[in-house]
Structure 1
Amino acid sequence: MIVKFQLSFGLDDAQANFNIHKDSVYICGSSKALGSWDLREAVELKSKVTDTCGENCSLSLSSLSLSSSSSCEVYLENLPTNVLEFEATIDLNESFEALVAESVEYKYFIAQKMSDQKDTRVFLKQIEYNPRKLELTNSSLLSYQVVDKWPLVGVDNKSTRIDHGWLLNGENEVQFHFFKYPLQLWHVEPKSLCYDIVPWKASNGLHELKDYCVHNSDFDENQIVNDKMTKFNAFNCPGVYSTYKIRTYEALSDLLFQVNVYEIDELGKPSDKYLATGYFKINRSVIESSVMEMDLSMLNSNQIVGSLKSEVLLITSLNEDSNYKIRKNYNYHFNRSCIPIGHRGMGKTFDAGTLPGTEYVENTIDSFREAYNRGAQMVEFDVVLTKDNIPIVYHDFMFCIDRLVETSSSKYLSIGVNQLTYDEVKQSRVFSQKILKNTEMTDELQHFFTSKFMFPTLKEMCTQLDPKLGFNVEIKYPLDLEDGSHEISNHLKWLNRNQYVDRILQELYACCQDEQRCVIISTFDPNLCSIIRMKQNKFPVLFLTNGVTNKWVPYKDARCKNTQRSFSFARAESLHGIVAHAEELTRDMHIINLLFSHTEKTANFLAYSWGDDLNDLDKRQQLTQLGINGIIYDRINESF
């Protein structure tokens, strides 16, 4: 059976720059002729636009383009129509009866090709979340013509999710984060500024880097209100936070970046010449730490004219072959109904406060199993790594062990989770850090809070609990606090974010091969959110937030300040949702109305909530009625 696939999309729906010279549209599906869901075997569609404007044109779908690599720019008004069209004729090598018996599914994706046509590697830029089905109705036809539009329209005539891709094997991404007023230019006060960043290869001289992919995800504090992305890479605009991302297959140690600052004219376009420029070289400290702060001197005519501050984030690829499989981007269906989620299983044990007691110790297999028996569709738990990089389920960064000699202060000694191997944890009397808060605990009760019962591995969670029980895996990572302190002692050196995440993801990949178990990942660290999002396409990533609260010292990171800003960051980064603290949600109806009105408009965006306030039945019911997707609370046996 020969099938001609035709795809068209309106320019406003493409959601990204489409470079006709570099980018291609591909189709991949369940049939062998469509690649058997392996994007390396996908079929490239032919673009009809190249017949109109030639091969060396670049099509910019944004209102501002700083690209200088193409010989001509084609804007919306210059095109014959506002629609791009692509097509491919494919012989599926199967009969009509066989294709009907086992329906063919497929997806479209956009990828940027390498300049060397012999190089089969690509940058995956956009991909459909939901698969399409090939509908065949007439057995007498020898060929079919399928006419599709991008994006795919789903239930209730809503567009389904388009993901922005992820890092493929050997690929890296460097992100520059510019927060509030990062640029200082001395003796120059232009009204509006923007920037671009040009990568160079600094190996045996300085060379132009030909193969790289650029993307930015600017957002502002009011984005949740006006639902609009910033149209350029803005500097020093109140409330604007800009991220510039460059993906490449080049060796990280060979990369040098040129940062150019431009003045914007009254038409919203950059001037022909930049006001200042600076250079940043990837060095060993960036590679070893994954995140560092940059303070760059800005030059003009070889004179220092200012300075630029930025956070630099390095994301390396996970290098899993399964990342090329695209049948189902995530092993989780985006359920719009509200689900009950057991906090640490049956709930907190050590800092439970006025909660009714439970015989199940938090974060133990028994507690998670009982939560499932009591109606939890999912359980929430924290994961940290031991010294030998075994992912275990535990809430804190520190353990307690018995002192060899008791002192008047305490009989326990605090020790970092990453200072003991897993065997040492299980063979010793290791306690939860929370035992320090309970000085009246008897020896008999202490027995239940040791490593004999606690600290299951992530592997044990996957193998010993029913596969129908979903996992909300919170990845713990120590962060800087607003008061200048840190969540752990300075002498404890944590694995860098890339190594840390890789180990946990590899364990999840190995343990969650069957798609029965729904798994989502959440974390308080916005950089960790970006890293996990770009490393894989198997598990949804949710930004976990404290919001505005007096219960804890706030995090230093600007993206964590309040729920509204956290939501804007999650949207800009194409995360799959947020886990908002109930205190701010239930206190501020303005936030909750904005959040739920926009999650309804956004395809496949999850909104969960957590916090002590949700141990109150009335507040659980309030959020449920407003449309929250999941509620994390402590005593799952109580009414939902």
Structure 2
Amino acid sequence: MQRWWFLDEKNGSASSLTSSPGTSTKKTKPSKPVGDRRHKFRVLVTYELLKDETIAVTGNCEALGNWEPEHCVQMQLEDGSSNIWYLEIDLPQNVAITYRYFICSMDPTSENVHVRRFETHIEPRTIPIDGASSQTDQETKIDTLGDIDGSIKLDRGWLTSETIIQFKFFDNPFLVKERIKNRLLYVKITPMNLRINAESQSLSTLLDESLSSDTRENGTDHQAYAFTEVVSMGNPKATFEQQSQFGCPYHPEDFLVFNVTVAEPENVAYLVDLYTYSSRSKEDEPPYHLGYHYILPNFLKKSEGILELPVTCASKHRPLGMMRIEYLKVTPLLPSRCNLERSFIRYWNKRWTGLDVGHRGSGTSFKASDGNVIRENTIASLKNAVAHGADMVEFDVQLSKDLVPVIYHDFDIYVSLKRKTTLEINDMLELPMRELTLEQLKNLKVYHVVEGRNREARFFDEDLDEHQPFPQLADALELIDPHCGFNIEIKWSQKLKDGSMESDLNFDSNLYVDCILKVVLEKAGNRRIVFSCFDADICTMLRLKQNLYPVMFLTLGVTSKYPSYHDPRCNSIEMAVRNSCATELLGIVAHTEDLLRDQTQVNLATEKGLIVFCWGDDNNCKDTIKHLKSLGIHAIIYDKMDIYSDKTVKVEGDNATSSQQSCSRG
């Protein structure tokens, strides 16, 4: 595999991207468009637009905003039409125009443009230089939103200035009185504007008014500029939809996720309403309002957390029970580093199957006595995998104390208290890696957890720069052959099913993800990159904070080798597939143990259009790798590329080339 994404597509080249996403300069408002030809855009919209949503167009010239969302040009509905939008505008005469349509909304307070959905075809729409069509041709030509030559791609946008608050209901979150314990509850969440103005004399008045009108079909007079959608992971369809008048039912063992997009999170409260049907209700009778609670913005100061809230009876205003809600707050990556020129967020070429991915570079070093002779997750290990034909290398990234992304797998390390050739029981101190700065990690004598517990050092070549542990992510992006792709696994401590934590991280999750994304967007250039993580919320953040690189959900699956997670989305391929579909991820990274036990689970993902990678110790076998490729797995992550890969590799200095077998995959 020598050419991906930026270089792979017909007529696509790296030179078409004049700057890296990370090199954006301060944006200025373009002057009034001036052009030599008048052009009329017309587009048919088959999607149901929500309140505050509209259609816009952007492209590669100043008149169309140079791909920047805030400089786009909004379209208008044609007279007498409910779904055809148009725009007449002057365009440059001697320039081939490329453009995209997208669904957007505008914050009425700040006038910031929010990208709701956008066309993600690798090649955008084009008006050629000699495409000065007649007025009649322009009147009859109608594009279809999201559809270019039969290829339909209209994906969720990314956060430009808005924030998403996600509320999650799972693990039987309602504790209510016995008489209603077994009734089906419906959950509805309504964002409420807390901004006090001349029309609202007090906060209490505002809340009283909103409560008294919460069952109106058209909502309340004080709803915020916001978009609310909900998905049930218990539903095989698993797509976010608008909530109905009486909310979404919560079934036992269900997993409900509410996404609320808001522009000013500090000024928005959330009314949680519960509805249920009376035991004596008639067939055509709607559910009645059982209870409610307000979530004020000061409850949501952290990026994630658990809320245990009382449920107040809607009729008698007395305590009715309790409910437990887990929340996630996703903030935009600022300054914005993405635009609408090109996106690979769900792009995968059909030729890319059976890719060989080097696990932690050339493989794990500390699992067994036959571990790799090169220390894992080092520049040397990554280079060695590339030299032996790796299409991609997989490695783990986490932050040092001073917020520098470094490549390392374990949460804890051992630090030597004495400089000795032999190690004794009291010569080492176990520390969380996050408690050391990059300088300390580089200068102290640091041992892997296995070395520390066994008091036996395994590697003595750390005086060589490329063999040193804790290489910076930025260094890997600059030093590894750019034709080799990166599968960057974000290390994040999760809660286990028994209630314990893998590690006590003290980082804010938004800050954590932002620090890693900024390095990638600045240093990646044209390298193909896929993010992955075992934490579904981190995957959500990675997906919503940028629109350039795809994200895959790492799944533990059903296994006895590792403890299960508290979040059930990671504990089975079925739930992982539904979560990936709902969040619009590229696909899943499945545990091979799961796939070998039930091969039909591969189809469970691919039939939904998802890409499937696989990981696990079972992959370290030539026959297993061959079998997984025959199942249509898109990429297999395994150790010791030099032993298990069936590629013929010729190495000449820095120029490592793989056989035609590798190149034939793209």
The 5 A counterparts of 1:611-630 are 611-630=616-635
Please tell me whether the aligned partners of residues 221 and 239 of structure 1 are also in contact (alpha carbons under 8 angstroms).
no
Do the aligned residues in 2 keep the contact of 1:480 with 1:486 (CA within 8 Å)?
yes
For the pair 1:18 / 2:49, whether they are aligned, the reply is yes
- Tell whether 2:362 aligns with 1:350: no
Q: Is the 8 A contact 2:359 2:637 kept in 1?
A: yes
Match for residue 231 of structure 2 among 181, 203, 217: 217
1:111 and 2:104 matched: yes
Match of 2:564 among 554, 557, 562: 554
Greater CA drift, 341-350 or 105-114: 105-114
Q: Tell me, in whole angstroms, the C-alpha distance in 1 between the residues paired with 2:515 and 2:636.
A: 28
Once the two structures are TM-superposed, the CA of residue 536 in structure 1 deviates from its matched residue by: 1.4
1:432 corresponds to:
448
Q: Which moved more, 1:229-238 or 1:422-431?
A: 229-238
Report the secondary structure of 1:260's partner residue. Answer: strand
The structural deviation recorded for 1:382 is: 0.4
Matches of 1:450 and 1:551, distance apart in 2:
35
Residue identity matched to 1:299: C
Secondary structure in 1 matching 2:319: strand
1:426 to partner: Cα distance: 0.8
Alignment partner of 2:357 out of 335, 338, 341: 341
Q: Deviations over 1:448-480 (max 9, x none)?
A: 799971110011111111222211111101111
* Structure 2 counterpart of 1:42, from 72, 80, 91: 72
Counterpart amino acid of residue 567 in structure 2: D
**TM-score, normalization by structure 1:** 0.82
Deviations 1:118-158 (A, max 9, x none): x421332111111432255976745452421133256xx55
- 1:437 deviates by 5.1
Residue pair 1:260, 1:278 contacting (<8 A) in 2 also: yes
- Aligned match of 2:523 in 511, 520, 530? 511
Equivalent in 248, 255, 267 of residue 268 of structure 2: 255
Change beyond 3 A, Cα 1:293–1:353: farther
* Matches of 2:99 and 2:291, distance apart in 1: 48
Aligned letter for 1:636?
M
The residue correspondences of 1:525-564 to structure 2 (distance < 5 A) are 525-564=535-574
Q: Point out where structure 1 has 5 or more consecutive residues left out of the alignment.
A: 53-82, 600-604
3-state DSSP class of the match of 2:160?
A: coil
Q: 2:506 corresponds to which residue?
A: 494
**431 and 449 in structure 1: CA distance in 2 versus 1, 3 angstrom threshold:** farther
8 Å CA contact retained: 2:187, 2:275: yes
Pick closer, same or farther for the CA change 1:551–1:633 going to 2, 3 Å: same
Secondary structure of the 1:539 match is coil
Distance 1:393 1:270, change over 3 A: farther
Q: Work out the CA distance in 2 between the residues paired with 1:198 and 1:228.
A: 16
Which residue number in structure 1 is paired with residue 586 of structure 2?
576
**Residue number in structure 2 paired with 1:68:** none
| 2:433 counterpart (414, 417, 421) | 417
Contact 1:194 1:264 in 2 (8 A): no
Residue 78 of structure 1 corresponds to none
1:346-384 deviations in Å (ceiling 9; x for gaps):
111111465xx5432211111111211211121110011
- Partner residue of 1:150? 145
Question: RMSD of the TM alignment (CA)?
Answer: 3.1
Q: For 2:425 and 2:57, how far apart are their aligned partners in 1?
A: 66
Q: Deviations over 1:174-206 (max 9, x none)?
A: 111011432344333686442321222445533
Q: Secondary structure at the match of 2:383?
A: helix
**Equivalent residues in 2 for 1:167-316 (5 A)?**
167-169=159-161, 171-186=162-177, 187-188=179-180, 192-202=184-194, 205-206=202-203, 207=206, 208-220=222-234, 222-223=236-237, 233-252=247-266, 254-263=267-276, 271=286, 274-283=289-298, 286-301=300-315, 302-316=317-331
CA distance in 1, matches of 2:241, 2:253: 13
What is the aligned partner in structure 2 of residue 609 from structure 1?
614
Distance 1:352 1:189, change over 3 A: closer
- SS of 1:134's equivalent in the other structure is strand
Q: Distance in 2 between matches of 1:627 and 1:158?
A: 23
Secondary structure (helix, strand or coil) at the match of 1:460 reads helix
- Cα gap change, 1:332 to 1:241, in 2 (>3 Å): closer
Amino acid paired to 2:523: C
Q: Secondary structure of the residue that 1:363 maps to in structure 2? A: coil
2: CA distance, partners of 1:631 / 1:410: 41
Equivalents in 2 of 1:296, 1:271: separation in Å?
A: 24
The structural deviation recorded for 1:289 is 4.8
Q: What corresponds to 2:7 in structure 1?
A: none
Deviation per CA, 1:488-534: give whole Å up to 9, x if none: 2xxx452011111111111112212x2x2011111111111112211
1:181 aligned counterpart, secondary structure:
coil
One-letter amino acid of the structure 2 residue matched with residue 639 of structure 1 = S
Tell me which amino acid in the other structure corresponds to 1:629: H
Alignment map for 1:12-91 (pairs within 5 Å) = 14=47, 18-19=49-50, 21-48=51-78, 51=80, 84-91=83-90
Unaligned ranges ≥5, structure 2:
1-36, 197-201, 207-221, 647-666
What is residue 66 of structure 1 aligned with on the other side? none
The whole-number CA distance in structure 1 between the counterparts of 2:592 and 2:277 is: 41
Q: Is the 8 A contact 1:215 1:246 kept in 2?
A: yes
Task: Tell whether the 8 Å contact from 2:554 to 2:570 is kept in structure 1 after alignment.
Answer: no
Distance 1:182 1:441 in 2: 48
Equivalent residue of 1:274, what SS? strand
C-alpha distance in 2, partners of 1:588/1:158? Answer: 32
When normalised by structure 2's length, the TM-score is: 0.79
Distance 1:581 1:51, change over 3 A: same
Separation in 1, partners of 2:501, 2:143 = 52
Counterpart residue identity of residue 189, structure 2 = I
Q: Report the counterpart of residue 660 of structure 2 in structure 1.
A: none
2:493 pairs with 1:478: yes
Cα distance in structure 2, aligned partners of 1:35 and 1:268: 54
Equivalents in 2 of 1:462, 1:291: separation in Å? 33
SS of the residue corresponding to residue 196 of structure 1 reads strand
- For residues 618 and 149 of structure 1, the distance between their equivalents in structure 2, rounded to whole angstroms, comes to 47
